[in-house]
Structure 1
Amino acid sequence: MKAASLAIAVLSAFCFGFSGPMGKFLGGAGLTPLEAAWIRMAGAGLIMVTVLALVKPGALRIPRGRVPFVAAYALIAIAAVQGLFFVAITRLPVGVMLLMEYTAPVLVVLWVRFVRRVRLPRAAYLGALVAILGLAIVVQIWDGMRLDPIGLLLGVLASACCAGYFLMSDSFGEDIDTLGLIGWGMLGAAVVYLPIARPWDIPWAALTGTATVGDRTLPAIAAAGCLILVATVAAYVTGVTAVRRLSAAVGSTVASIEVVAGSLIAWVLLGERLGTWQIIGGVILLAGALVAQTATARPAHAGPAGAAHPEPSCTAGRSAAAAQVLERSADQA
């Protein structure tokens, strides 16, 4: 069960890893980042809601009292993470912004410890910090650093919203279907984007041509399809499923593998080769994720003061095995 859950989390990270390369191809086709993001959210939302309406209409039913939660999920866990990232990279190097966004595992662990008051094994903290160290090496934070105050503020907010994604994905109950939440969340995010993405001005004809990045060319519609189906629908469905089966703390830490996955995918699709530091950082990142997963997935036993305590189940109806998993944490989006 634990191995399968971890595999789902890694699969989610690799699906998300297609975001950057496919976004680059759409940029090569003539779309702006915000236009590509709107197509991503709207396309994924429409596909999920349509399919669910045909095969599983009950998944789309949201209790009236849970509408605010779904709206918050769309705004914070999806729209805010995407929007803040795109705005922040106009003021900060992409590598620095990625590092800031993926400090979310640390925020999750801190949230679980000091807000939810769940005592985690020390290895959980160590694993999160080692993963962040590995990530810093992957993006080579020391290269081209610019400490723009507004950019840093936006980066912190993006990290908080990213952590929120993990925490919210972990905390909703059985009265909301996972697929329905993601589908409505995507559509809600697309609505939030309307005034700034201005889809009526998107050069839709560009999707009928080709997209070229360097010496690599793809049909633009294929890049858009991969961005929607793989990097969004598959990524979010497997991501939320992994968080529900593991924990927010573990899920957010393993999700940082996305940076390594994105680099590998860019290597294959765009010819962007990994450097020595990226390979070293990737190994360190994976080691940190493994340490955090092992520590957090191991059932904690009550003991003397200062010992870790087992997490109380926060969702009715979860299996006994899931109830033993330590409290999930953080904000992400």
Structure 2
Amino acid sequence: MPKNIRHEAYLILGAFFFALNSVPAKLVMEGGISAFRLTQIRITGAALLMFIYVFIRNRKGLRITKSEIPSLLAFGIIGFAVVNGLYFSAIARLNVSIALIIEFTAPIWIVLWMRFIKKKNVSKLMWWGLTIGFTGLLLVGQVWRGLTLDGLGLIYAFVDAFALALYFVVGEKLVKAKGSEVTMVLGFGVSAAFFAIVMPWWNFPFEVFSKSIELTGRFAGNSLPGWLLVLWVIIGGTAVPYFLVLTGLKGLSAATSSVIGMLEPVFGGVLAWFFLFEKLSLAQFIGGCVVLIGIYLADRARTSV
């Protein structure tokens, strides 16, 4: 298999596993655990797994300097804790596909930051992408009918998109200095420590592990133990997709990788439809497609900014 195709396959699989994580995550939350507690166990578990991996391969890379601490704190707390926590909060109130689509407006906010804060020129293609993207969001939100989606869920999703944009901006700087794998494990580590401070482990609802969680949608009438679903969120929904994406990034440009990553909301919508029977109106479906087109154009233009 040609090298580029192999790395593209890694990224496609990574997007698929990230999207697939939405289904068990939503089930666990419906079983009684809060979005931020699920984020805590997800990040802490993944941090331990990735630390072991990086410690074996590149333990010297885990050393940090004082000048790197502010960026690592912002990256770990906002880029991991806030992004993951608000994402889970959003999918608890919105259709998975809509939450993912809104989250992936992050490239749009990055470009606005570059144009109006960094004062860099932005191509016409970028503005077309922004216009098309916002038009799609109007369709997704069905503004002509009022706020038909959950208002708090929309707020969570949009703030999540802003946090994701910050994740990319700060992460770009850290990756150049530390490398992708080390940056990820340090980010997870900071985030895990942050959660341990603000949400002590002795108050964690450990009963979720022994609880039998009822499945919905296609598998309604069946149940799985909570520990199994949580384990999937940690391994299949965090460690595996991050590993796949990092491996794919080794052989492809950031622009190509980010475009492939936009398959996640597409996968998310299909999986939510298949497993959970979530439904979208025709206008929302068209709007979602339009948003993806806008994000694609914005991302293409961002590479030349």
For normalisation by structure 2, the TM-score amounts to: 0.75
- Structure 2 counterpart SS, 1:34: helix
Q: 1: CA distance between counterparts of 2:141 and 2:193?
A: 32
User: Which letter does structure 2 place at the counterpart of 1:35?
Assistant: R
Query: 1:14 matched to which residue of 2?
Result: 16
Q: Which moved more, 1:97-106 or 1:11-20?
A: 97-106
Of 186, 202, 206, the match for 1:200: 202
**Residue of structure 2 in register with 1:94 after alignment:** 94
2:297 to 281, 291, 301: 291
2:45 to 40, 43, 46: 43
Contact 2:255–2:300 under 8 Å retained in 1: no
Q: Which amino acid aligns with 1:284?
A: V
Residue pair 2:105, 2:295 contacting (<8 A) in 1 also:
no
Distance, in Å, in 2 between the alignment partners of 1:205 and 1:113 is 49
Following the alignment from structure 2 to structure 1, what is the Cα–Cα distance between the partners of residues 267 and 53? 28
Deviates more, 1:108-117 or 1:41-50: 108-117
Match of 1:266 among 250, 253, 272: 272
- The correspondence of residues 135-284 of structure 1 with structure 2, limited to 5 A, is 135-138=137-140, 142=145, 143-145=147-149, 152=155, 157-214=159-216, 215=220, 217-237=223-243, 246-247=253-254, 251=258, 257-284=263-290
Greater helix percent: which structure? Answer: 2
Which of 48, 54, 57 lines up with 1:55 in the alignment? 57
Q: 1:109 aligns with which of 96, 108, 111?
A: 111
- Paired with 2:246 and 2:170, the residues of 1 have a C-alpha distance of 9
Percentage of pairs with the same residue = 24
Whether the 8 Å CA contact 1:210–1:218 is kept in 2: the answer is yes
Deviations 1:76-97 (A, max 9, x none): 211222345567889xx63687
1:14 to partner: Cα distance: 3.3
Structure 1 residues 35 and 293, CA gap change in structure 2 (3 angstroms): closer
Q: CA contact under 8 A between 2:212 and 2:224: conserved in structure 1?
A: yes
Instruction: Give the CA deviation at 1:235.
Output: 3.9
Q: Secondary structure at the match of 2:213?
A: strand
Matching residue's letter, 1:122: K
Counterpart among 118, 121, 124 of residue 122 in structure 1: 124
CA contact (8 A) 2:21 2:233 kept: yes
Decide whether the 8 Å contact of 1:17 with 1:262 is kept in 2.
yes
* Consecutive unaligned residues in structure 2, runs of 5 or more: none
Structure 2 letter corresponding to 1:14: F
Unpaired segments of 5 or more residues in structure 1?
297-324, 328-333
1:39 shift after superposition: 0.8
Aligned residues: 294
C-alpha contact (below 8 Å) 2:44/2:189 kept by paired residues? yes
Are 1:134 and 1:282, in contact at CA under 8 Å, matched by a contact in 2?
A: yes
- How many Å apart are 1:200 and its aligned residue? 2.1
- Tell me the distance in 1 between the aligned counterparts of 2:132 and 2:70: 36
Alignment of 1:75 with 2:77, yes or no, is yes
TM-score norm. by structure 1 comes to 0.70
Range moving further from structure 2, 232-241 or 167-176: 232-241
**Displacement after TM superposition at 1:47 (Å):** 0.8
What secondary structure, in the 3-state scheme, does the structure 2 residue paired with 1:171 have?
helix
Q: Distance in 1 between matches of 2:211 and 2:48?
A: 23
Encode CA deviations 1:129-154: one digit per residue, 9 max, x unaligned: 42344355456565525767xx85x7
Q: Output the amino acid matched with 1:287.
A: I
Deviation at 1:202, TM superposition (A): 2.8
CA deviation after TM superposition for structure 1 residue 165, in Å: 0.8
1:187 corresponds to which letter in structure 2? G
The 3-state SS of whatever aligns with 1:260 is: helix
In the alignment, which residue of structure 2 is the partner of 1:26?
Answer: 28
